[in-house]
């Protein structure tokens, strides 16, 4: 059975304590590889490698770092098919999704920041009448920690690593233990691209041990984390007394506001995607659907018809719409929320059942599920489920729609479907969300800030925001006669 290895100081190595964790193929429910159960000793080795590499890497030219990141992007692109297959095998997502979205985006992340660092600039200010001149230096931080989730494994792993490296930092990174394979392959890619030893170190293991060792390391100066809100809160409590820089991209319970004047067919097609893409395992999925009352009955009928037509199947079949959930415990968690919804008086309009897929009988497959709710304060409407489950509910006025949308502790993204410009501008401004999509969903421009409000996180990723996070600003004031 294949053993995934840690990538430290440019070389692959086994965990120091010789302990391993089973890695499952979700589509079949079978162990197919082992990953290191890394300890604090492994994290310390990674830190020491990053520390040793930092002075040289931080003093390289911007052009050199840009060239290395561009090479990494090109190698990812050249190995698209193999990486996509590996991602699908490891995560359970449809191969078509990994091929069209996940792996191309991982390549784009490196290429974007390879370009962005060459355009990154800072401010200068002449103090007229005082004979002084101020300018701002943006300097790399040092050794930083990057911890990424299982839902978009290489996509979100590289979203953190690329800007960290571009800004001149060295990195100790931990991918999710649930989906480690493409992060492991990234080590090989970085070696081929000529990334100097120790600049990127990838340590595999559990969140409460390996991840905790990264977060509490006294000399890792910044933490970029994407994952659940409870874990983010724990990281904040740990890191705050150590005065580390923190970027936390956490959970979401995103509203989808559908008004009667929308382009109905376009809305329906995109709402299916925003509900069930990647088995609903995207922090940006629109899991709460609110529909204007005048079209609610029609929407409910049409939406359920389209949802029941989605194919649940093997990730490797070309016509599969919904693949396997990432793990058995996660599938059981999602199923528990469907039961909670029924207990709270919700009506399951379709789905909710586990699916047996031929040849994959032990896989973690679940029907896409639509639940009609009458009370927006019910648990299934308030708590993040992170699976192929959405709730639907009618509203009558813009004010009611806004109250429903903002009536949760999360604030990551929102979607509005309307052709009314005044309504768009009014609601977009008042929605408590870091991202607002209007008549679209998941249309991303990597130059824009990404992140959430309230319990959805702290800070922003993307574009110049990411480069600002991974640098320290220093003001220099020069007085002259």
Catalytic residue positions, numbered: 249, 283
Q: Is the CA virtual torsion 158, 386, 452, 321 positive or negative?
A: positive
Q: Are 236 and 248 in contact (CB under 8 A)?
A: yes
Dihedral sign, Cα of residue 379, residue 383, residue 388, residue 393 = positive
> In 3-state terms, what secondary structure has residue 453?
strand
CB 380 within 8 A of CB 346: yes
User: H or E segment at 467?
Assistant: helix 463-469
φ, ψ dihedrals at 194, nearest 5°: 85, 20
Which bin fits 280, alpha (ψ -120 to 50), beta or left (φ > 0)?
Answer: left
Q: Cα(85)–Cα(186) distance, rounded to whole angstroms?
A: 14
Q: Please state the separation of Cα 477 from the chain's center in Å.
A: 39
CA gap 29, 27 in Å, rounded:
6
Closest CA to 242 of 226, 225, 209, 220: 220
Whole-number Å distance between alpha carbons of 73 and 79: 10
């Amino acid at each position: 059975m294949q053993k995934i290895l840690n990538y430290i100081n440019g070389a692959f190595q086994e965990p120091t304590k010789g302990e391993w964790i089973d890695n499952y193929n979700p589509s079949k429910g079978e162990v197919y590889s082992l990953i290191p159960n890394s300890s604090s000793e492994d994290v310390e080795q990674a830190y020491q490698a990053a520390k040793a590499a930092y002075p040289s890497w931080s003093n390289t030219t911007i052009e050199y770092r840009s060239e290395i990141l561009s090479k990494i992007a090109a190698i990812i692109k050249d190995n698209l098919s193999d990486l996509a297959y590996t991602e699908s095998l490891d995560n359970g997502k449809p191969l078509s999704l990994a091929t069209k979205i996940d792996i191309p985006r991982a390549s784009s992340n490196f290429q974007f920041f390879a370009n962005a660092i060459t355009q990154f600039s800072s401010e200068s200010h002449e103090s007229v009448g005082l004979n002084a001149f101020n300018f701002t230096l943006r300097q790399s931080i040092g050794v930083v920690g990057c911890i990424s989730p299982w839902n978009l494994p290489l996509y979100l792993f590289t979203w953190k690593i690329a800007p960290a490296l571009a800004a001149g930092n060295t990195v100790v990174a931990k991918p999710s233990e649930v989906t480690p394979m493409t992060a492991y392959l990234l080590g090989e890619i970085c070696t081929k691209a000529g990334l100097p030893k120790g600049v990127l170190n990838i340590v595999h293991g559990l969140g409460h041990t390996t991840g905790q060792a990264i977060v509490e390391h006294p000399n890792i100066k910044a933490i970029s984390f994407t994952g659940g809100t409870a874990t983010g809160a724990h990281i904040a409590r740990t890191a705050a007394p150590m005065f580390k820089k923190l970027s936390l991209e956490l959970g979401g319970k995103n509203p989808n506001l559908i008004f009667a004047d929308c382009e109905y067919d376009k809305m329906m097609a995109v709402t299916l995607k925003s509900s069930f893409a990647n088995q609903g395992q995207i922090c940006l999925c629109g899991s709460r659907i609110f529909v204007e009352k005048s079209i609610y009955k029609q929407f409910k009928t049409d939406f359920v018809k389209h949802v029941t037509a989605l194919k649940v199947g093997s990730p490797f079949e070309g016509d599969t719409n919904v693949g396997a959930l990432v793990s058995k415990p996660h599938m059981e968690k999602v199923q528990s929320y469907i039961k909670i919804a029924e207990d709270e008086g919700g009506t399951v309009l379709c789905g909710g059942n586990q699916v047996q897929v031929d040849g994959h009988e032990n896989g973690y497959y679940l029907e896409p599920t639509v639940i009609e709710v009458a009370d927006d304060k019910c648990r299934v409407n308030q708590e993040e489920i992170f699976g192929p489950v959405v709730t639907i509910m009618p509203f009558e006025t813009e004010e009611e729609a806004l109250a429903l949308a903002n009536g949760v502790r999360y604030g990551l993204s929102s979607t509005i479907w309307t052709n009314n410009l005044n309504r768009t501008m009014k609601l977009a401004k008042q929605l408590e969300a870091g991202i607002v999509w209007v008549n679209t969903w998941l249309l991303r421009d990597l130059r824009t800030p990404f992140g959430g409000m309230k319990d959805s996180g702290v800070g922003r990723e993307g574009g110049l925001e990411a480069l600002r996070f991974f640098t320290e600003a220093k003001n220099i004031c020069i007085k002259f006669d």
